[in-house]
Structure 1
Amino acid sequence: MLFLAAQQPAAVRRTSPGDSFERAKQLAWLNNWAEASRVLARLQRSGRLELDERNRTLARAVEIRGNIESLSLPSAAGELDRLLATEAARDDQNLRLQILAMKGDVEFQYDLAAAEKTWREVERLAGDIGNSGWEARAGGELGCIAFLNGQAFTALKKVSASLIRAEAYNDVAEKMKRLTALGEGLAEFGRPADALRFFDRALALSSEQPDAYFPFTAYLGKARLLLERGSNEGRSMLVKGLADARRQNQKVRESRILIVLGDDAVRVSNTKDALKWFSTAVEVARSTGLGRIEAEAGSKLASVLVQRGELDQAAERARASVAAAEKSGDLYHLPLDLAALAEIEVSRGDFRAAGAAYDKATQLVRSLFEDLPNARHESTVVATMGRVFQDYFKFAIDTLHNPNKAFEILESARARGLVDRIRLSQAAGQAETERRDPAMMRLVAVLNR
């Protein structure tokens, strides 16, 4: 890289003192893509950025990744794909590795199958060229994808292993991402206290390393859990986060905050605000190709419409959410979306459509068991997916008056785990889960230190 020695005209905006191409690459490694892109833009405007083809290709990729919140995700992934086809990316394996990782990041937001394929290529290529840092990062990303594919046990192993390797390499950005991922998983499985500790650790690392990316997911996860406790701090965090996201045109963040605000409105029985927040989240997510977020917001919106008695609109919205979840590849949450659709169809009196949705949901949940090594882990998934089986069971008994069908549902759910979930209180249920799965709880305890 060459820097122009001549003094630039006063009209040209000057760079910051520390701006350089190496600085931009360092920020990119820390996942601070937005600032890396800004550094490159300042260098280019000042005339101090003169790059060969290899670094021009990298700079363009960083620019795309740094502005991803305001771009169409499929279009961004397509442009990164075109960069991968350039001679520079074909000849330079390290460059190829970095662009692949950016592409995998983008695809994760809207197409899990594509993201998994890309991250497997990152993992393979990193192993081939001996880049242990990227190999570890790829393992962590594949763990997060495994979770959304319903492979909870595989996800825990991969994400935990990635965190341990990140600790060994002192990879700050990766540590923040994996702490956040574990926090999200714990929150999903009903362990908010442990989840908060992981979120706080990620946020503390961010404070210690201001050059690294800001772990927004940890920030949002903490705000959500605090809101569920009725804390004003959680609301303040969301209000500030929403204002920042809108000011910076960060669509992913905006849509995710809107969903949490909608959840809080539901919690306090404010259906008017809930309708507003969820509707806006759907619109924002759809406009930028955020299929998983659209599915989540749409399913919640459908529930609010049911409360308002607008059943036909609710069914339409729920079907759109199922379609968005299927398209994005979110197999973990898809059964819950299908169960929500089935419940609406029951309310509408369309029992055939309800039965079809419940059947598909339970088939998907059964497929989740294939990844689990023993009954202890099966009961964890049954507990999380309990609503699917409980509602289907109730439908078979109360609506269809079909005890044989009800028995089949119990069998498919591994009746013992489902019955435990029904009978025990939430606190007792958590204790039971811990007793059955001490290995998982020991791992959480170790990582929580």
Structure 2
Amino acid sequence: MSDNSKEGIAKVPRSGRLSGVKGMNDIISPDSARWEWFEDKVRHLMALHAYRNIRTPIVEPTALFVRGLGEVTDIVEKEMYSFEDRLNGEHLTLRPEGTAGVVRAVVEHNLLYEGGKRLYYMGPMFRHERPQRGRYRQFHQVGAEVLGHAGPEVDAELILLALALFDSLDLRDIRLELNSLGQLEERRAHRAALVTHFEQHISVLDDDARRRLHTNPLRILDTKNPAMQAVVESAPQLIEFLGPQSLGHFNALRSILDANGVNYRINPRLVRGMDYYNLTVFEFTTDRLGAQGTVCGGGRYDTLIEQLGGKPAPAVGWGLGIERLLELLKEQGTEPVLPVPDVYAVIAETGMLAQAMALLQTLRRLGVRVHMHAGTSDGMGSLKSQFKKADASGARFALVFAQQEMAQGAVAIKSLRDGIGEQHQVMICDVATWAQRLQSRDISESPNGI
């Protein structure tokens, strides 16, 4: 171990309470159940659209993002968590977004050899930002990427995929904004016009804008500085420089969206935050989350695969912030139906535990969600306290293991919700029959005629 590493370990506090890193949050129950609910929705929807899951490392070479996202971008210049591996000197970065890693994996494993791919991912990303509502230093994204297909119908498919997800979540008040960034030569002509325009208003530009004027003037259009809005609004628009092919792609996309009844607004200032985009770019936005209004964004990136060492191939995709989306659901008052146990096992005496646990394992194998009472270190606790915990668990039924019933080879099922207090005795040997009734939440008739 190097001297530097020893010094670093020596500075670690040896006692006292430790807290998580600022802006990197624990996700605990019941919030974790909301995340699982959302993730299940995503997996179901992706399967319907024939998208396959891909999982890439959280740590990637720093060069991947410098080359992929653009050296003069906020993410690369200000927000990445980058470090040097002290064992081999390799420059590494916690991934700030998902697309570059997906493309790196596609190139490395030659995934386009047999044709185009539809892929999706879910996972944590990292950016050193000021934590605020819906924006954290560790945040989570869902991304959908189509690689190897150039047509506007694929752009439309991805937009419709995002809308289908929003619809499945009953999300409201989300707007779609569209733009086209054209191709490289068109952007170069637009870039020259932008430089001329902003040079004529140099006194209005802030430090960031002046620094980017001759390196990446397109980023100036994305400024949030109120003092610069007038000069940005009067700047030349890229759509004025688009040739017939780029306009044809954009208009074909619009016609598909129109045919599907999709409402959208053309935003000529929409440029997105990464340099790899061309042609179609889009964002889904809302007014319900304050300044953090973008919920989902993406577009076409036809040069990125070649840029990262692969054979030239078109691609398009989007990324969606999970924290922002769940915050939006909360803001509009949408609460998902979260899973609760079917039964809570109330056990009268510790001597019944072995037989009770054998039956509970059988119920679980039959698909019944079971919460078992625990606490043998100080006895099982009174039946009254166990029933109180059973009610708090959200379970619909209590499964009562009492000495009298078990002597007859039976247990009691007591309703905790509908028909509160109603109780039926069932035979343990007939568990497969009444397990189905527990899952259907109907024990209105005793399955054993008891």
TM-score, with structure 1 as normaliser: 0.22
| Structure ID, larger Rg | 2
**Greater relative CO (CA pairs within 8 A, separation 6+):** 2
Question: Which protein is richer in strand relative to its size?
Answer: 2
